[in-house]
Structure 1
Amino acid sequence: MDFILYAVPFFFVLIAIELLADRWRGVSNYRVADAINSISTGVLSTTTGLLTKGVGLVTYAFALEHLALFELAADRVWVWVFAFVLYDFCYYWLHRLGHERNILWAAHSVHHQSEDYNLSTALRQTSTGFLLSWIFYLPMAVLGVPLLVFVSVAALNLLYQFWVHTRHIPKLGWFEWFFVTPSNHRAHHAQNALYMDRNYGGVFIIWDRLFGSFQEEDDNEPVIFGVTTPLASWNPLWANVQFYVQLWDDARRAGSGWDKLRIWFMPTGWRPADVAAKYPMNKPDLSQFRKFEVPLDGRQQLYVALQFCVYIALGSYLMNLALHLSTAALVLGWGAVALGLFVLGVALENRPWALKLELLRLASNLPLAWLAPVVGLWPASAVGWVGLLSYSLLSLIGLYCCRNRFTRLAS
């Protein structure tokens, strides 16, 4: 059973409830652009995962077949309990090194880029974590945890982590000693020096207490969310590659061949001395911290939000039918999602070329309508053409209503 697929509707219901709680308490933990950006990275991560999840599954299955020391039975309760705890232990070390090594932080930093903290932040996930994360779970295969059990406890671990991304739940007494909670996870998402690189557990906080990485949320030190080098963008594609680009630029500029190689595996933030001297990077002063913001008028926000709903629907469609779609269909679907989210990110940033790029996105619906039935993304029918063209026409009408805003930006 795909627990994540069935949980998605509940995620959005809980986000709606949190928005109501915001209003009831007279606070504002959501910004439209930030929430769209967080959920966009989640949609992109999920659709990318449809193409890349085989990396982790194949390597795990190979290790299970050739390296397993034991053969555990999937019908034993204790095996599930053991696997659940062991998975979180492996996750702790993946998560910890994800903060402590450049190459792993390049993937994980996506989850920390939001300067808000709410349930939409939980959906903010990397699209490149599949490259190396599988290594950390190989001990489970060596110990004989069946593939079905591994996949299931991985999903349950991820589901647990959703509810801790909120500011509405205070400290939970004795529960704080054993489990990850909203309070100790808020500290994890902070960029304050007091909280930096702490509280790595997914379900159990006991790993942090055992290995010296625990930090309690301090009422005297309000949490400032985000990363010390701000993303300063609403674009989910740039969010996923930003730190890789920084590492690549530093590696390219380094005079030493050894530095060009080791920068990827050095502690997070390490830079070659010659590069750091010639290209200094100044960290913002937290005492003068200001969230990244781009002014948008109400019509433009509404237009982007409605367009974004289309890509949530397309992402959900791909998730539901992934097992029945060809690789070509998944690639086309992913491409449509990636292009759309990129263009909407440009619109949220009020780029001067946003209007031209939006018109290009709408024009791309024509080849999409032709290609989709060819690769099996959806059946060939007049309904598909009518639906996509109707959507494009309605979008053009909406774009016309926003024309003054876009025209001013383009001029």
Structure 2
Amino acid sequence: SNKWCLDKNYAGVLIVWDRLFKTFEEERDNEPIAYGLVDQPQSLNVMWLQVFYFRAVYRKARSMTTWSDTFRALFYGPGWFPGTPRLGDPDTFPDVKAPRVKYDPQLPKWMEIYILVHFLILLLVQQHWITELQVFPWVSSLAFTMFIFFSTGIIGAMYDGWWWAPLLEATRCIAYVAYARDNPILAHPLLDLVVLAYFAVSSVMWCSQSMAVLKATLKHHKLE
């Protein structure tokens, strides 16, 4: 994120391409590298991290006053603004310095254990899905894929403290129970039963949490 590193060193393996296209930049002994983005997103939600920048680009495009500037906001460099070159004016870029403040949200110990157990279960589900991929109907494969992505996103939302995380976690747990009670997932009856029971208890807990969140939200709106 250092200003002198922006739009440099694109090559992932061979620096010959950066040498050819004049985008190579050597490290500087007197200035440590500040890793990450210039506008570093404060989130551990892997799903959100894939799409957050599209929202920023959309908002930037919406703020333009002409169609031509709207087009440029969509397809020019992230530092571009009206009146600047295609990649923007480097003098206007933020000068990010190392070290950066680490985004490290803290959760109660019980929630960290809860997330760890569910993450390990998710790995088991993913491994079974990969093993049985050729015999699964495409609908089941799609459901497994969505469940895995959905689960990783909710885990990140829990760490980020998003208010709707309990609602989605309750939905996720209920969906697993509804599917797994008639469709063994892990191919080991005892393990399937234990995981099903864990999801059932989790769904009850998060339904209770969701009710508390909804009550607090409604109360807040009434006060407004």
Per the normalisation by structure 2, the TM-score is 0.71
Q: Does 1:331 align with 2:138?
A: no
- 1:315 and 2:122 matched: no
Residues 321-357 of structure 1 deviation map (CA, whole Å, 9 limit, x = unaligned): 4444333222211211122112211211123444443
- Relative to structure 2, which stretch is displaced further, 264-273 or 299-308? 264-273
Q: C-alpha root-mean-square deviation of aligned residues, in Å?
A: 3.8
1:209 aligns with 2:16: no
Q: Distance in 2 between matches of 1:322 and 1:212?
A: 45
CA pair 225-257 structure 1, distance change in 2 beyond 3 A: same
Alignment of 1:87-98 (within 5 A): none
Instruction: Confirm or deny that 1:343 pairs with 2:154.
Output: yes
Give the counterpart of 2:199 among 376, 383, 392: 392
**Alpha-carbon distance in 2 for matches of 1:219, 1:350:** 39
Q: CA–CA distance in 1 between the matches of 2:99 and 2:192?
A: 52
Matched-pair identity in %: 24
**C-alpha offsets along residues 237-294 of structure 1, whole Å, 9 cap, x if unaligned?**
2111111111122223333222333322212332457xxxxxxxx9585368322232
Once the two structures are superposed, residues 7-32 of structure 1 have per-residue CA deviations (whole angstroms, 9 ceiling, x without a partner) of: xxxxxxxxxxxxxxxxxxxxxxxxxx
Amino acid at match of 1:364: A
Normalized per residue, the structure richer in helix is 1
The question of 1:258 aligning with 2:65 is answered no
**Given residue 367 of structure 1, which amino acid in structure 2 is its aligned partner?**
A
Query: What CA distance in whole angstroms lies between the structure 1 residues aligned with 2:167 and 2:175?
Result: 12
Distance in 2 (alpha carbons) for counterparts of 1:355 and 1:308 = 16
Task: Tell me: CA distance 1:339–1:214, structure 2 relative to 1, closer, same or farther (3 Å).
Answer: same
Inter-CA distance 284–219: structure 2 relative to 1 (3 Å threshold): closer
2:45 to 235, 238, 246: 235
Q: Flag the 1:344–1:217 CA change in 2: closer, same or farther, 3 A.
A: same
Which one-letter code corresponds to 1:340 in the other structure?
S
Map 1:4-403 to 2 at 5 A: 191-271=1-81, 283=94, 286=97, 289-369=100-180, 386=193, 388-393=195-200, 395=202
Amino acid at match of 1:296: L
Name the SS for the 2:13 alignment partner. coil
- Normalised TM-score (structure 1): 0.42
Shift in alpha-carbon separation, 1:198–1:357, aligned structure 2, 3 A: same
Q: What is the identity, as a one-letter code, of the residue corresponding to 2:193?
A: V
Tell me the secondary structure at the aligned position of residue 4 of structure 2: coil
Corresponding residue SS for 2:144:
helix
Which whole-Å CA distance do the structure 2 matches of 1:329 and 1:345 have between them? 25
C-alpha change, 1:197 and 1:305, in structure 2 (3 Å) is farther
Aligned residues: 204
Confirm or deny: 8 A CA contact 2:43 2:49 kept in the other structure: yes
- Which segments of 5 or more consecutive residues in structure 2 lack a partner in the other structure? 84-92, 217-224
Q: Which runs of 5+ in 1 are unaligned?
A: 1-190, 274-281
Change (3 A) 1:370 1:300: closer
Determine the C-alpha separation between the residues in 2 that align with 1:264 and 1:324. Answer: 43
- Write the deviation string for residues 175-228 of structure 1: whole angstroms up to 9, x where unpaired: xxxxxxxxxxxxxxxx11232232222322222223222222333221111100
Q: Which amino acid aligns with 2:68?
A: W
8 Å CA contact retained: 1:294, 1:348: yes
Q: Deviations over 1:53-99 (max 9, x none)?
A: xxxxxxxxxxxxxxxxxxxxxxxxxxxxxxxxxxxxxxxxxxxxxxx
